[in-house]
Amino acid sequence: MSFLIHYGLSVSRRLAARTAAAIREDIRNVQWLLRPPLRVAVVGCGAIAPVHVAAYQTVGARVVAVSDIDVAALESALDRWPGIRAYRDYGRMLDEERPDIVSVCTWPETHAEIVIRAARTGVRGILCEKPLALIGAETDEMRAVCDRYGVHLAGGHQYRFHPHFGRAAALVTGGRLGRIERLEGYITGAMIDNGPHLMDAVQFVMGDPEPVWIECACRRTGHRLYQNIPVEDAASGTVMLEGGVPLTFQTGDLAPGFFEIVVYGSEGVLHVSPTILMLDDHLIAEEPPQEADYRARQFGRFLSWVMGRESDYAADGARSARATEMALAACEAARSGETVSWPLRDRTGGMRRIYDTSEHPPTDVRRISAAMLRPGRNECKRLAVDGGRRAMRDWFSHDPVIGLSEWARLTRTIQTRQLNSTYGYQVNALEREFADMYGSPRAVASTSGTAAIHIALGAIDPEPCDEIITTPLTDMGTIIPILAGNCIPVFADVDPATGNLTAESIAARITPRTRAVI
């Protein structure tokens, strides 16, 4: 009897403990729901920015502002997300909007400055696209500053949240493949572009082992650039991981497809990519997942980590820095022709040491002058691209304006049943009125700008092979009449500020064969 009483009390205590734990979890969930949404600012409005905005909106965060040095990009952002504010100066955006979260979607040479500035303004979390930086010392400083200010720094490595790679990691670390003997991997793009994705995905699938050494050879035959940085056409090499497991990799033009990792174990071979998951020639996943789903998982867990609901984040600053530095180590191995040991000792070198960069100076986070950005007392005096309210929701229509006057003239012309200028009178009347307006003895109407240029050239009656100087900043409608007149188009340079020809550039192209300037 006493045993039953003791057992019953024990069960009751366990149930009470479980109930209390469930209640505490429910309270935390309610508190989470009652909190105002986290405010997000996005720096850089390029191709990846809409992915960030959509993912934040899906997981309940509020994107309040975007920043870019390109006014056209800001205009597109305001059209796409009418409720946000836009800034040419990201620093001003951080100071005025005071966001909780910052996404950095700019070119990699600007990442370090933006991350450090954001951390010092008191944000709670920063998600920076890959690569974190192009110099090892910059990744060190980014992480150190974020640690100093208590900021959660993460990298944009979405494949750690992709179900194919998650299942692959479980199979490998769970022992389904037996002893791992070697890996192969490939990805398109330059080493510093998509290379960090490949290195990070391998790390994730293998359980995040440390690299031991890296060898790499790069081939560059053209003038390929990645976001203003000279890069190779293709690369191949080997990364030795802890435990003596080698990864052989190919990137760029050597990659046979977009992205895939093959894991060879003593008890099976695993193929994993964003679209397939296959074990020993048997498909494990039939349909590729939707990007929006694993992006929501990536950003949702990031926000949970920032809010303290999760103690770890799979793509945190340390793991993201390691992926970046593995790519930098591969580039250094290619430059030096030697095996590079881990950890990467050269913290001050970087991508710009490898190829001639004299024609492509480092990217700067350009500033807008303080005088241009100084707001007036009236908010309307502040431009929408500097955080002000947008004066117009829609741009002016490009459609022609057709009113009663136009319909009346068209109807009158049709009623004459003379629809050509030979017997009709409308074109002749237009030519007389136009000539009088400009004080010219005669005007000639034409059906298009191309036809007008053809008529003008015909009026001067050029000889075959005469040269006609014109602008290269035009379309074929300017060039075709020159060729039709058996003349040679000669291009003079334009003023970079106005886009127009200059007297100096025209004078430099004049020869004895020059007949006209268009």
Q: What is the pTM (predicted TM-score) of this model?
A: 0.72
Element (H, E) at 28: helix 2-34
Q: Secondary structure of the chain: what % helix, strand, coil (to 5)? A: 40, 20, 40
Q: pLDDT for 306-330, tens place per residue?
A: 999 999 999 999 999 999 999 999 9
Neighbours of 323 (CB within 10 A): 25
Q: Evaluate whether 518 touches 478 at the Cβ level (below 8 Å).
A: yes
- HSE-up of residue 100 (Cα within 13 Å, Cβ side): 15
> What is the rounded average pLDDT of the residues 489-503?
93
Ramachandran sector of residue 244 (left: φ over 0; alpha: ψ -120 to 50; beta: rest): left
The mean pLDDT of the chain is 88
Instruction: State how beta strands 467-470 and 488-491 pair.
Output: parallel
Identity of residue 219: R
Instruction: State how beta strands 340-341 and 211-219 pair.
Output: antiparallel
| Listed residue (103, 89, 124, 90) closest to 54, CA to CA | 103
Q: pLDDT for 222-265, tens place per residue?
A: 788 888 888 899 999 999 999 999 999 999 999 999 999 999 99
Instruction: State how beta strands 211-219 and 282-285 pair.
Output: unpaired
| Listed residue (146, 36, 41, 43) closest to 97, CA to CA | 41
Element (H, E) at 4: helix 2-34
Q: pLDDT for 366-382, tens place per residue?
A: 544 444 444 444 444 68
Which residues have C-beta within 8 Å of that of residue 180, sequence separation ≥ 6?
A: 172, 206, 243, 245, 263, 264, 265
The beta strand positions in 314-466, using DSSP E, are 340-341
Phi, psi torsion values for 87, nearest 5 degrees: -140, 135
Distance separating alpha carbons of residues 374 and 370, to the nearest angstrom: 6
> What is the rounded average pLDDT of the residues 445-470?
94
Q: How many residues are present in the chain?
A: 518
